[in-house]
Amino acid sequence: MSVPFVSVVIPERNEEEKISFCLESLLGSDYPHDRFEVIVVDGMSEDRTVEIVKSFSEQHQNIKLLYNEKRTTPVARNIGIKASVGEYVMFFDAHSVASFDYISKCVKHIQETDADNVGGIVRTQPVSGSILGRTIAAVLASRFGVGGSKFRTGVTSPEEVDTVPFGFYKRAVFDRIGLFNENLVRNQDIEFNLRLKRKGGKIILFPDIDLIYFSRSSLRSFLKNNYENGFWVIFASRYSKQPFSLRHIIPLMFVLYLGLVILLLLLPITLALVWVIPLLFYTILDVLFSVEIVRKTACCKAFFVSAMIFPLLHISYGTGSLIASVKLLWAKG
């Protein structure tokens, strides 16, 4: 039986600190090196990223460097797809490190099932060993933090889902449903996978496929990233029909609820207390899951940090969704 050729596409920009670890992990793969290519699509980096990738490509024939003048992820993905020759197209992130059997397990599972896209579990790790960095990483792997995002919280057996990290696709998928929507600066993978599902495609998450993702370790970058994710998950509807699922709008509902609670404080105390009950329930969950974070990080101070990070995660994401909703309504008006 012939070994299928795999094209790995890595969209990136200004990743001089991480790109070496990413490429080295792929080169350490147990998959035959003459049966996969790595296409790095650079978004006109202003640091040493291009220099680093060129150094790798000079030493390894299966690493190629392309350029993305528009500098957005969906454009980079599409450039990679068009340049690829593999039977399967695998996307990867410069912030991530692949396990040695990542490619081989993806190939195995997509061949043995009727899936069109497969993926695995994200093991989130901090860039730094600070309490804040470790806590952010733990929060992003918590059910309370990310809800129904199963590729972050984990599964015990293969499970059909609405999306997986990055994606490992049959090439025929792009012939069937097209390329990534280049209007979507973020969350283009969510929209693409929902489009795939609506066309009868199947996406399966496997617990034995895993990768390491390095999360942001500063509060500013953490909040900015969540705000932008929340914004684009809603604003995407300007360019695509139903670009998100119900779970993506829960943070928006939470932010709207908080605004309502503030207004209701003007009401008689008994009525206001009734509306505050869900917030008390949220606070209890915040405390309970912060205790779990302490256990995971083995750091008592992480309790206070996570008790703050959980609501900041939900509020920053929900605020982004709220601003996007206002902009969409304003545009329609």
Whether 146 is covered by a domain: the verdict is no
190 is a domain residue: no
Q: What angle do CA 40, 43, 45 make, to 5 degrees?
A: 100
For 151, which DSSP code? Answer: H
pLDDT tens track for 83-99: 999 999 999 999 999 99
Query: Of 110, 135, 166, which closes a domain?
Result: 110
In a domain, 67, yes or no: yes
320 close to 228: Cβ distance less than 8 angstroms: yes
Query: Among residues of the chain, what percentage have pLDDT more than 90?
Result: 77
Assigned domain for 122 exists? no
Structural domain count of the chain: 2
Give φ, ψ of 195 to 5 degrees.
-65, -40
Domain annotation covers residue 93: yes
**What is the pLDDT at residue 113?**
95
Taking the C-alpha atoms of residue 259 and residue 310, their distance in angstroms, rounded to an integer, is 18
**89, 110, 131 - which closes a domain:** 110
260 by DSSP, 3-state: which?
A: helix
Q: Is residue 261 part of a domain?
A: yes
193 alpha carbon, distance to own chain's centre? 13
**Residue 20: inside a domain:** yes
Instruction: Give the C-alpha distances (Å, rounded to integers) separating 100 from 18, 39, 105.
Output: 17, 18, 10
Domain region containing 96:
1-110
Is residue 333 over pLDDT 70? no
Domain final position from 54, 87, 110: 110
CATH of the domain at 60: 3.90.550.10
User: Residue 312: its pLDDT value, please?
Assistant: 97
Q: Is residue 172 part of a domain?
A: no
User: pLDDT tens-digit profile of 221-231?
Assistant: 999 999 999 99
pLDDT at 237: 82
Name the band, by pLDDT with cuts 50, 70 and 90, for residue 244. low
Enter the pTM of the model.
Answer: 0.90
Q: Classify residue 14 as left (phi > 0), alpha (psi -120 to 50) or beta.
A: left
Is the pLDDT reported for residue 13 higher than 70? yes
How many whole angstroms separate alpha carbon 202 and alpha carbon 263? 45
Among the ranges given (88-92, 269-273, 297-301), the one the predictor scored with the smallest mean pLDDT: 269-273
Distance, CA of 110 to CA of 1 (rounded, Å):
15
